[in-house]
Copies of this chain bind each other. A is one copy, B any other.
Amino acid sequence: MRIATLALLFMSTVAFAQETILGFNESDSLSQQELEAAFDSEINSAELDEWLRILSSEPHHVGTRKGRENVEFIAEKFRSWGFDTEIAEYEILFPSPKTRELELVYPTRYTATLEEDALPEDPSTSSVADLLPPYNAFSRDGEVEGELVFVNYGTPADYDILDRYGISVEGKIAVSRYGGSWRGIKPKLAGEKGAIATIIYSDPADDGYGRGDTYPDGPFKHESAVQRGSVMDMPTYPGDVLTPFIGATADAKRLKREDAPTITKIPVLPISYRDALPLLEAMGGEVVPEQWQGGLPITYHLGPGPARVRLKLEFNWDMVTAYNVIARMPGSEHPDQWIIRGNHHDGWNHGAADPLSGLVALMSEAQALSRLAAAGNKPARTVIYAAWDAEEQGLIGSTEWVEDHAEELDEHAVAYINTDGNSRGFVNIGGSHVLEKMANEVMRDVIDPQTGVSVGERRRANLQVNSNNPRTRDEARNREDLRISPLGSGSDYSPFLQHLGVASLNISFSGEAADGSYHTLYDTYEHYTKWRDPGMVYGAALAKVAGRATLRLANAPRLPFEFTGLSDNIALYIEEIETLADEMREKTAEINSMLESGIYDLVLDQNESLGPPKSNSAVPHFNFAPLKNAISELDLASQEYKSNSSDGRSASKAENILLYTSERELIRTAGLPGRPWFTHHIYAPGFYTGYGVKTIPGVREAIEQRQYDLVAQQIDTAAEVIKGMTARVNQLNQ
């Protein structure tokens, strides 16, 4: 009844589907729409559910029996659907735990259990052959003993606060909560600051009973649950730590392990909040700042000490084989133009949500595509489905494959479409803004399973109601296309987008099923189907969104790349960076002036150790004109291309090549300062945020990190990159 009413209310939206599709003329649009309707009818939630159950029945990280079985299962499916299927193997370094000991030795004694409880309500939690116990992959070995310092989330801003208290982690063990940054940043920064180890725990305020009922009563983090995860320095380079830039083939030239720059400098171990409580309770020193207090029933203290812990970590530094399943359906017209659609298959444990909920959608898409092909509708371009291994350890399977096939991909890769864990709620699409228009048309044409309106309309509604950003609310009402978000890192799009410059999208649903299963023993079939996507209806919706994106890229006579969205988003980033510089300049001047006038001496409580903030050299004014001039020209060129191509006329092969290789204009082989593997000059994961994106990263991070003498050169590079794109668009305009 409710859905019927809604469908009625929003018929106008559904009518959109009758419009033409970017890259197709009117009549081609109609046949494509028919094809997509047929595609939809092949997506079967019950099948997704069945595959999810099978694939998630046991732990299946890289190197396991079950992992290998899953590879065979997936490959066999692809073969049965008529794909040219190969299993691409890479020999990678994979540390697994040999010794994990964590003990509070003073002033009381407590030995951390470091184990997750099996729950009678969830049989999967007892099916633990090959279970990897909680640990952080690519922590170095070590045995240390030292006093604890509480570093909150362990971000640069947190260390600024500790500095104000006169507290250093030098020679101490930093205890950090998960959140606030990607986990790998915590040991990276703690190591830079001289800590001898890092312990990371999930605070119940962020990820536990403070969020909602805990598993199995609800979806949130069980008191014994531990978030595993890689801590390799991915913002330097992801993938096998021994083979940066090259595929980790059997005979690849490898770094020595001790020379691998992406292994942590200090040991690091994740623990549960149940294990964290005795440690934090034993700490003394100053009470933490208000925002640092977590959800445990104690007063949090900064330390150092008196709590001392002993931590001993040893790993099996094994070489294991990672297996990527690569399944090809050659294009009927343009076999040398490749659309790549990927999702990893390895999980930390059972991995029902992460990654299998996305993988089963991908499989469903592949099956549907094969049936369309069997019915005479082969894709015009080659479609490659990839199920990556060893993503969890650092995007290893995908990165090695990309590095291994860099030249071919540079020539042939049209776009990469990624998914990973899925959930219920609102569609999220992030990625290359040359694909923003296409992404919006896809969101317009897929129906939300709960409300009967398009997933785009539902996302628009959500932004209007729930966004805290006035610009976002306003744009949700008035901007023709919803912005897609720029990509940082955290899944397998990184090597495609940020290393090779292959236009990429990352797609998921979320927002209605927050939970605490991520990278824990409790990411099971039972948990997923009870709390995240009962009936796998959003799994089906994901398949329809990612499937449409794949099909349109595969079939469009003119590739659905568009440049006004890119230009508008880059313009926004430039504006943001200018504002950032202005605000830093103002804030720095304000603090310096207050320091000079001695005002902090009047304000700060002489009974406490909190000192004034530190002074910084004045933030200079930067010449943003090159960027602004460049973006004005890109905007003009983009408008012209839009108007030229608006009639849906098809493109020549040469034009299509110019279109899909346009993203390559945004990379420079020299890479970003200090991290040459990352070549994209518009999108990168933050060097000190990890997964969090930094747009126009060369310029933004130079300012953020107060490396002012780098800024002008980075502005020039970014402007050159934009000019390159403008030249490319103007080539298309000729």
Contact = CB atoms under 8 A, between A and B. Distances in A.
A287 B606 contact: no
A135 interface: no
Contacts of A424: 605
A336 interface: no
Number of identical protomers: 2
Nearest to A290: B211
Nearest to A452: B602
B299 A214 contact: yes
B213 A464 contact: no
A114 interface: no
Contacts of A212: 287, 299
A15 interface: no
A297 B607 CA distance: 31
B453 A602 contact: yes
A211 B287 CA distance: 9
A170 interface: no
A141 B299 CA distance: 37
Contacts of A6: 598, 601-602
Contact of A465 (B204, B218, B453, B599): B599
A462 interface: yes
A132 interface: no
Contacts of A458: 602-603
A457 interface: yes
Interface string A291-335: 001011111000000000000000000000000000000000000
Given A464-B594, A512-B607, A594-B465, A602 B457 contact: yes
Contacts of A512: 605, 607
A66 to B, nearest CB: 32
A24 to B, nearest CB: 28
A466 interface: yes
Contacts of A299: 209-214, 218, 220
A450 interface: yes
A2 interface: yes
A451 interface: yes
Interface in A159-203: none
Contacts of A210: 293, 299
A600 interface: yes
Interface string A408-419: 000000000000
Interface in A1-20: 2, 5-6, 9-10
Contacts of A290: 211
A293 B296 CA distance: 13
A461 interface: yes
Interface in A210-230: 210-214, 218, 220
B602 A297 contact: no
A336 B205 CA distance: 61
Given A424-B605, A450-B606, A458-B602, 16 more contacts: A2-B606, A5-B598, A5-B601, A6-B601, A6-B602, A210-B293, A210-B299, A211-B290, A213-B287, A218-B287, A218-B299, A297-B297, A451-B602, A461-B599, A465-B594, A512-B607
